[in-house]
Chain A
Amino acid sequence: MEEQYILEMVDISKSFPGVQALKGAGIKVRKGSVHALMGENGAGKSTLMKILGGLQPADSGKIILKGQEVSFSSPSESLKNKISMIHQELTSIPHMTVAENIYLGREPLAGKVFVKDSDQNARATELLQGLGIQIDPKIKMVRLSIAQMQLIEIAKAISYNSEIIIMDEPTSAITEREVEHLYTMIRNLTKKGVAVIYISHKLNEIFNIADEVTVMRDGEYVNTKKIEELTRQDIISMMVGRELTHMFPKVEVEIGEPVLEVKNLTRAGKFNNISFTLHKGEILGLAGLMGAGRTEVMESLFGLVPANSGEVLIKGKPVNIKSASDAKKNGLAFITEDRKLTGLFLPHSVKDNIIAASLDRFVVGGIFMNEKSVNGICEDQKKLLRIKTPTIEQKVKNLSGGNQQKVLLAKWLLTDADIIILDEPTRGIDVGAKSEIHALMGELVKTGKSVIMISSELPEILGMSDRIIVMHEGKLTGEVSRQDATQDVLMSFATGTI
């Protein structure tokens, strides 16, 4: 039995100042298989993989690679042992080309000094074509979409010809179509005997691609099972350690009069003639593939990028929103897609983040901040949203993804907006925090607020929305009620096949 494992990590422990990240964690991976590693955020999956990738040393424990005990003190050692890694955070260098990024640090050289650009580009072209990725290797990374960048990261990891590839949330930024593509790439790899360790929060993916599943919780190993022996509920209970009965707790709320009407909104090159209506107490799902223009519509609605034409009515009155502060005055809130890039102030405290969009509320005499009221309200928000942080003075960069997302939500809920736009509100966060955020959405509409939710996860869209509109390449292609919506219907609208 033992020999069939290409990799065994046994009894790994690791602590950071004040935190025991791993306590006797482990994983055993078979050659040519896809091994899913699952657990809530903070369960220690990424830490375990960073140890395997040579990014961090373990405090204790053994790594056995093809029967031999090894230890890696740097990523390059790990790569030499044919282990490569796709990182959770995109690590590309924006102003270098795709090819330069892929072969960074191992460029083909002439005379050990000069980079042979043409060689490099040719190799990159061959690599990308072999993987069916249609991206020109000569263009700069900045010009790619996030989804394309992620594909390049995947291609880069594959280009090392590794025997073990670690994929840490490889689909966090790509769409269903590209996920299918990724599956094909993974299946081709496993056919060649490559083992893939696959970290994801998305259960669908796990059931689609994984052969075995190892679950971790609070830094400890929980269990390993073949995928056939598991149900969704089993995995969730193993991860959470408790039963999560309702994945999508839909609250029935009476839908009221229209609060937001968008008519023929157009921004050249991004979207065309977008018209929709949002009602009081409604959760309106906005589905579509990455790049369909969903975020762009919301950006224009919120005044961040002006639209070229079209009309917006709030509570029946035409409004002209030219900036985020106009939008706030009109009762809009926008929880943006990329919490690190456009949402949070990472080096600042939870408190300063929460108040950032409602500073006026705390100003006394036109100038000074009322610290007492700031502290009180932030403590309330912390309790209300169950933000797990020792104090509200904690820096946001030290929180987990789910808690960061809650801070971002707290910031916008504090503005007391009536229309709340959520752009991918649960991307990359664990199931526990996810269901809390879903429950919160229910609470919001119960109090008469309205929500627009952009999501690339169809189960989320289907589970949470009262009504769903779908975009494809800048156009609104469909609208379906909750009752009529199925994955198939949404996908055919999203891919423009109807």
Chain B
Amino acid sequence: MSEVAVKPNNDLSKSVKAFLTKYSIYFILVLLVAILTFLSPAFLKPVNLINIVRQISLIAIVGFGVTMIIITTGIDLSSGSVIAVAGIVASKFAHPDTYPLAVALILGLGVGLLAGAINGFFVSIVKLPAFIATLGMMLSFRGVGYILSEGHPITNFTKEYDFIGSGYWLGLPLMIYILFGAAVLSYVILRHTKTGKCIYAIGGNQQAAVVSGINVKKNLMFVYSYAGMMSALAGIMLSSRLSSGQPTAGLTYEMDAISSAVIGGTSLSGGIGTIQGTLIGALIIGVLNNGMDLMHINAYYQQVVKGSIIVLAVILDKARNR
């Protein structure tokens, strides 16, 4: 490789440019916040901001698992259905004077883990394309949700279960703490563990990963199971927040989760992506939704804007990775 010859006076502007492109989504978020603050006085009120973070907590949590999957060049379309089933299962064990809270939580998360493991089995062992495997699970699991609930919402929860979605601690909703916990856990797994390194390696070059002695099947099983569990966590939170486990819960959440990851810089061709990026991606979606609501923009137009933002984000990302 020839020596890199950079003119010294270019150095500063170059590194500034590199910095801007590296953190471009952060700037977009800041820019959005600035614009909305200017347009709507209600936007920057703490109540509203807390509300935004609580609103995005579900798609962000689902997004963390999906991010890992996308990094391995996979995809998960079943998250929304897993949200419904996990919510229903947990709800069934959350009636007053029946089981302790732990039972509802363990079973709810367990069913998500199982759903994820089934996805993982089809992707890593049967070697189906992730799109097909999780599309099948999306339909089947939605069906399971209807079967288990017999088509009706499940209501009447213990106080503890209600607390998950509507409780406050130190002035902040519990959901925000859960979001924070899930973010830290996912970040640490991806960034600081051997499993994380393996996930990036599988996405970067699966063949090279195999040759390097990385157990691709085991790691893919982990990733899909983890994502299933994250969806289940979101499902439990949603059922608690709505005070009912519903078979229609979480519809199209998988798309918002994938969008968050993609806006946050996760590459659909694999090997690239971060948890913090996905969190910012989810916040961008949340801030946009909230801002447009505050400005009373017609819901139909909101969808158009959201779609355009996703496409723009990918264009930006292409420029960044060039």
Contact = CB atoms under 8 A, between A and B. Distances in A.
Interface of A: 17-21, 41-44, 218-219, 302, 304, 323-325, 327-328, 334, 336, 341-348, 352, 355-357, 359-360, 362-363, 367-369, 371, 388-390, 399-400, 402-403, 411
A360 B194 contact: yes
Contact of A368 (B4, B192, B267): B192
Contacts of B201: 345, 348, 352, 356
A363 B194 contact: yes
Contacts of A367: 193-195
Contacts of B208: 341-345, 356
A399 B212 contact: no
B194 A20 contact: no
A43 B210 CA distance: 34
B227 to A, nearest CB: 19
9 contacts: A218-B2, A304-B211, A323-B215, A342-B208, A343-B211, A368-B193, A369-B194, A388-B1, A399-B1
Contacts of B212: 324, 356-357, 411
A52 to B, nearest CB: 19
B1 A41 contact: yes
A186 to B, nearest CB: 29
Interface in B2-31: 2-6, 14
Contacts of A336: 211
B292 interface: no
Contact of B197 (A18, A334, A342, A356): A356
Contacts of B205: 341-342, 344-346
A348 B204 contact: yes
B252 interface: no
Contacts of A345: 200-201, 204-205, 208-209, 271
Contacts of B193: 363, 367-369
Contacts of A343: 208, 211
Contacts of A359: 194, 197-198, 214
A327 B197 CA distance: 20
B207 interface: yes
B56 interface: no
Contacts of A17: 14
Given A323-B213, A344-B205, A345-B204, A20 B192 contact: no
B113 interface: no
Leading 10 A-B pairs by shortest Cβ distance: A345-B204, A400-B1, A324-B213, A325-B213, A357-B212, A42-B2, A42-B1, A342-B207, A359-B194, A347-B271
A43 B197 CA distance: 34
Contacts of B198: 359
Given A346-B204, A348-B271, A20 B210 contact: no
Contacts of B285: none
B272 interface: yes
Nearest to B5: A20
B161 to A, nearest CB: 31
B37 to A, nearest CB: 36
A21 B194 contact: no
Nearest to A338: B207
Nearest to B2: A42
B2 A44 contact: yes
A21 B1 CA distance: 10
A357 B201 CA distance: 10
Given A19-B4, A345-B205, A348-B271, A327 B192 contact: no
A344 B212 CA distance: 10
A347 B269 CA distance: 11
Contacts of B6: 18
Nearest to B270: A347
A328 B210 CA distance: 12
Given A325-B215, A344-B205, A346-B205, A218 B3 contact: yes
